[in-house]
Each structure stands twice: as C-alpha cells, then as structure tokens.
Amino acid sequence: MESKLKKVFNLVLLSFPLVAIQAFFLAIPPVAFPSPSPSPHSTPSNRAEIRREIIRAKLKMAHNPGSAASNRSRLAKLYLKAGEPEKAITLYRYGIIVESDRASNYHRKIGDIYKRMGREDLAGIEYNLAESGRKPGSGRRLNRQIQKWEEEGRDDLLLQQYLFLLWTKRESRNVYIRKIARLLAERGDKTEADRYYRWLIKIYRQQAGEKPERTLDYTYWIADIYEGIGDMASAEREYDRAIEIEGESGGRALIKKAAFLASLEERDRALELYQRAE
C-alpha cells in the first residue's frame, strides 16, 4: 500500500506539482502565507536555478522511490528557498503518512516552518505532536489533545489529525473514516462527507465477505449509514437484506425496519412489521 501511495504521489509531483496532494489535506490549517521577501542577494538567475533544482528533485523522487525520503527533504528546502512554505509543509505532511516512523521528525520540521513565519500557535501544535509521538503514554496525550480541540471547536485541527490517524493506524481505519465523514458533514461539506461514507460502506461489504458470521451486523451498519446520508431507498434495501439473512431466527431485523419506517411516518407498514415480530 505504501509503495503504491509513493508511486501515485511521485507521478502527481511531475504532472500537477502538489495540487492534487494539497487538495487531499483538507485539514491543513488555513494560514495566510506572507509573500516572500526576496533575499538581498537574490537575482533572477538564482531564482531560475532554484526552479531547475526543484524540477530535478521531482524527477529523482519519481524515478528513484528508494531515496524518496532524502529527496523529499531536499525538495522541501528548495520550496522554502523559493518562498513557497505551503508546498514544503504539504511534502512533510505526506511524509507523515508514508513514513509514520519518522512522523515526529516531520512534525518538528513543520513546526520550524510555522515558527519562522511567526505562527507560534501552529508551531506549538506541531512541536507537541512531535513530542507526543516519541514518549511513552503518547496515546493518552493525543486523546487529551483531541478532546481539547473538540471542546474548542477546532474542526480544522481535528480533521488534520483524523486524516493522519486514518493512514497511520490501519487497525482503526473504519473509526477514523466515520469521524472524518461526520466532521465534514457538520462543516456543511456534504459531497465530501458522502464520499467518505460510501468508502466506509465499501469496506463494510468487503469485511462482511471476509467474516460471513457477522454479515448481519455489517448490514445494519450499512443501513444506518444510508439512513444518515438521506439515501432512504438504499437503507430500506439493506433492512430487507437483514430480514432475509435473519430469517425465522428472530425479529430483530423486523423491529429495526419497523423503527426505520416509523421515522419516515409510514405508520401502517411499521405496525405490520411490529406485529410480525411478536
């Protein structure tokens, strides 16, 4: 998975210099990056040479994935020289995803960039993340930090952290997909929220195939997602599938569908199912 991500990223670098990757990181805090002041020794020829070096670094990353880490750091430094700190930050955030063992180092580098920009608040957050990734008990500290952001309504930072955890904690992927989807929905980004919810539905179907003994549970969860995003026709089909799976073994699926129909004010159909479940 990691090698595939690297290949895709390297191709994007060549074709659309960081645009696609930047779009992915919805959670990067909105920072007003100041216009870079040219160095007193900067000349048009120097700036042109920096652009050439950037192109060479991109080519090396694309054609030599094994040295991507060193080339990533070199490219980030070149972007800083070119007065494009936002691109350097995006590179380091991508490094956090594909090289989670170096996440603390990348968080520290991002913090350094923010500090040079005078954004001490954002720098402090990155330094804390760098520190929490290295010390024992970091999970508890991270949970406290997330809780604090929730209380403060810092959706931008929460989304950034959930995206990071989505790719670094594969065993909890479903949890963070759902958290990201809910957060996006609360922010009013229905299209992007639906994309994550439908991704979760696809995962649930795959997992149901791998664990047939839990198919009924996955079917309920899928129905719940469809209901949540307003796709009532699909939700009803899932409840029908649950009734078929459950068969004569119990009335749980019937009661769930009855409650679903009652929420749609289809009382007659709901009553019929309640009676069947008795």
Dihedral (Cα; 250, 253, 258, 259), 10-degree rounding = 120
172-216: pLDDT as tens digits: 888 889 989 999 998 889 999 999 999 999 999 999 999 999 999
pTM recorded for the entire structure: 0.52
Token readout for 209 is 């195939």
CB atoms within 10 A of CB 109: 20
User: Cα–Cα distance between 165 and 172 in angstroms, integer?
Assistant: 8
Task: Give the lowest-confidence range in 50-64, 226-240, 243-257.
Answer: 50-64
Residues 6+ apart with CB under 8 A from 128: 145
* 1-134: CATH, from 1.10.260, 1.10.3470, 1.25.40, 2.40.160: 1.25.40
Domain ranges of the chain: 1-134
Q: Provide the pLDDT for residue 23.
A: 42
Task: Give the lowest-confidence range in 58-62, 89-93, 226-230.
Answer: 58-62
1-26: pLDDT as tens digits: 445 444 444 444 444 343 344 444 43
Residue entry with tokens 């996006």: 184
Token readout for 232 is 């009532």
pLDDT at 45 over 80: no
pLDDT at 228 over 80: yes
